[in-house]
Amino acid sequence: MANNGENPSPDVGGKTVKLKADDGEIFEVEEAVAMELQTVKSFFDDDGVSYDTVVPLLNVSSTALAKVIQYCRRAVELRAKSGDDEGANEKAREEREGLEAELVREESDEGIKELILAANYLNIKDMLSFLCRAVGDRIKNKSVEYVRRFFVLENDFSPEEEERTRNEVAWAFEGVDAD
Amino acid sequence: MSDYLPDEAIIEILTRLPVKSLIKFRCVSKTWRSLISSPFLIANHLNLALSDPQYPPYLLFHYSDDLHQKQRFTLHSPDDPFPQNQSREEGEEEDEKGFFDYPSGFIELHSPLESTKLSLVNSCAGLVCLACGFLELKNSFIFWNPSIRKAISVPEPNIGLKSDPLLHYLGFGYDSKNDDYKLVRLVYSLRYGWYLPPLVEIYTLRTGEWRSVTAPAPPYFISLSYLSNFSLPVFLNGKVHWFAVTPQHQGAIRRNVIVTFGMEDEAFGEMGMPKSLEGVDNLDFFVTLVDGLLAVLPRGCATEFHSLWVMKKYGVPESWTKMFHIETGEGFERVIGFTKNGEVLLTKDEKMFSYEPSSQRTLDLHISGEIVFFALDTYVESFVLLNVADGDPGRQGNSSAGS
């Protein structure tokens, strides 16, 4: 139950929250960062729930949770930097975009899907948004077959139906990447 | 850990895909086909396209290429300089890919109707409205979505021509409250003089019909003169905008104003011009959008242009700000539009030029065509019309796949 190496114990000064991943690993996180996860926020909004309670996140793996926490921590820092100054805002926005690009760049397709599941379950709107855009960029020029494999979907068209649907929009199939 | 992404995530991904990809992915499965065609997804996709700064609208450019007997519609990235036409020789072999200097910087669209000269009314919220012919009062209009290569004909309006000389003005817009696209038509009878309000009718995509607009219309002509007849109506913040001059009548003084028509409430309004220009006689105004703001460019009887004014705060006449003077010298007939780069596109002797305000230099773009058909607007990709039944424009067959 040791803390993940990327999640050092925060200073005594701030309030912290404990989050438990599906494998039982506990992450201790600053309150401001934990509240980025709407699911966690709702958990504490209920009356009578003390901040000492460990939040069980049964659907999130520890790998995914570690990355989510890392992202949210940076996002909170960047948000604190921006204010009324347009120049500072612009810089913060660029940094955030860099952070997002960095997060998805090295991820495999499986890794991104896992992050999406986590961001969806934890209800982190901004994170879900850029992850979905990243997936969109990866698949937009791919073939229909590739997309079926990616999302693990069954082709329930009859051969004639599929042929007909394709012919309706033959022009959309120009320029498809090889799988 | 399951490989299956929940529906909410799938929708989030689909909403951010370009139209061409989504059309293709309708073939993934039956569920995806109905999901992609669902009004819910179509509306969300459009809302994102309209509000997300990561998806700036394209520039939509139209002109009538008489040399090659073609209607040309192109989409341009708003950040690039306006491209020059490479094939400058008469009779030179037409090479579509290399037509402009930046073949990857523009997309050539398939005109929805090859045989007729089309003029642009305006484009908004993912749909383009075109009229057949120009100033000939052909009462044929088309709603076109180039993203999905689909066009439908608008039925003939009710207020017809008969023997009375008529003048009509159009405005195309989107009613976001009711998720409806509307075409408004103001018809003036030239026989009865300047002070009668026009008859007004409106067509909406949802009803598929024209009906009268009962709200009182201002009793004066929208933009009477030769030049501003070429202003496209400007759709902004839910309203169509036109230039008009209030008549000197019954004690009132002549004023240059902007007339508005709201697509949601279907009512007319008026907006003030820059104070110093309001009472000036014999001024013609080109009304347009510059970087998303309402703008006017006045012009006197002598063919020179004045300065560009921009309304920095919408609806606040005190916020009209003079931007720069247009010093092109003589011979330029009309301004077509302003690009995001700050270039001004103009015509001279049926050719297009690009003017750079800071250097005051003009550049011949070598794009020739009939003056009246040059038009510039913005366009956002969408799925609008996907679920509307094909309405053969001009009974020439629809323009989806296969054309």
pLDDT tens for chain B, 403 residues long, are 456 788 888 999 999 998 888 989 999 999 999 999 898 898 889 888 888 766 678 888 888 887 777 888 888 877 777 877 765 444 444 444 333 333 345 677 878 877 778 888 999 999 999 988 765 555 789 999 988 888 898 988 888 755 566 777 889 999 989 989 999 998 887 766 656 788 899 999 999 999 999 888 887 766 655 555 567 889 999 999 998 888 777 777 888 999 999 999 999 999 999 999 998 888 888 899 998 899 999 887 666 788 999 999 999 999 999 998 888 877 888 888 888 778 899 888 888 899 998 898 988 888 888 888 888 998 888 888 888 876 544 332 223 322 2
Q: Are B87 and B72 in contact (CB under 8 A)?
A: no
Q: Which residues of B touch A130 (CB under 8 A)?
A: none
Inter-chain CB proximity A169 and B400 less than 8 Å: yes
Q: If 0-12 CB within 10 Å is exposed, 13-18 middle and 19+ buried, where does residue B49 land? A: buried
Q: What average pLDDT does chain A have?
A: 84
Which has the higher per-residue pLDDT, A107 or B77?
A107
Phi–psi pair at B236, nearest 5 degrees: -150, 135
Inter-chain CB proximity A157 and B30 less than 8 Å: yes
Report the distance separating Cα A57 and Cα B188, nearest Å.
68
Instruction: Count other Cβ atoms within 10 Å, centred on residue B8.
Output: 12
Report the distance separating Cα B295 and Cα B288, nearest Å.
5
Report the distance separating Cα B318 and Cα B316, nearest Å.
5
Which has the higher per-residue pLDDT, A68 or B53?
A68
Report the distance separating Cα B298 and Cα B277, nearest Å.
8
Sequence-ordered alpha helix ranges (H) in B267-400: 275-278
Q: Which residue has the tokens 């969408």?
A: B382
B34 touches chain A (CB under 8 A): no
Which has the higher per-residue pLDDT, B283 or A30?
A30
- Interhelix angle B7-15/A109-122, rounded to 10 degrees, is 110
Q: Are A99 and A73 in contact (CB under 8 A)?
A: no
Q: Residues with Cβ < 8 Å from A64, sequence gap 6 or more?
A: A21, A114, A115, A117, A118
pLDDT surpasses 80 at A115: yes
pLDDT at A4: 46
Confidence category of residue A85, pLDDT binned at 50, 70, 90: confident
CA distance to A11, A12, B185, per residue, from A49 (Å) = 23, 21, 62
Phi–psi pair at B314, nearest 5 degrees: -60, 130
CA distance B29 to chain A (A): 5
Q: How is B234-260 classified by DSSP, letter by letter?
A: EEETTEEEEEEEE--BTTBPPEEEEEE
B361: tokens are 């230099």
Interface of B with A in 41-60 (CB under 8 A): 54
The beta strands (E) that lie in B95-228 are given as 106-109, 118-124, 127-132, 141-145, 150-154, 166-175, 180-189, 199-204, 209-212
Instruction: Count other Cβ atoms within 10 Å, centred on residue B168.
Output: 19
pLDDT at B223: 61
Q: Which residues of A touch B54 (CB under 8 A)?
A: 133
- Interhelix angle A144-151/A125-139, rounded to 10 degrees, is 140
CA distance to A50, B114, B138, B157, B390, per residue, from B397 (Å) = 68, 11, 19, 21, 9
Report the distance separating Cα A86 and Cα A84, nearest Å.
6
Minimal Cα distance from B54: which residue of A? A133
The pTM for the full model equals: 0.80
CA distance B27 to chain A (A): 6
Inter-chain CB proximity B13 and A155 less than 8 Å: no
Q: Are B354 and B363 in contact (CB under 8 A)?
A: yes
The DSSP element (H or E) to which B321 belongs, if any, is strand B320-325
pLDDT at A142: 92
Length, in residues, of chain A: 179
pLDDT at B3: 61
Q: Which residue has the tokens 């993203």?
A: B147
CA distance B6 to chain A (A): 8
pLDDT at B371: 80
Report the distance separating Cα A71 and Cα A174, nearest Å.
37
B149 touches chain A (CB under 8 A): yes
pLDDT surpasses 70 at A165: yes
B65: tokens are 């290429």
CA distance to B66, B70, B126, B138, B360, per residue, from B107 (Å) = 20, 16, 16, 29, 29
Q: Which residue has the tokens 């195309």?
A: B172
CA distance A46 to chain B (A): 25
Q: Which residues of A touch B401 (CB under 8 A)?
A: 167-171
Nearest to B21 among A120, A140, A162 (CB): A140
Minimal Cα distance from B14: which residue of A? A136
B387 touches chain A (CB under 8 A): no
Which has the higher per-residue pLDDT, A112 or A81?
A112
pLDDT at A6: 46
Q: 3-class SS at B199? A: strand
pLDDT surpasses 70 at A112: yes
B23 touches chain A (CB under 8 A): yes
As a 3-state breakdown, chain B gives helix, strand, coil percent values, each rounded to 5, of 15, 40, 45
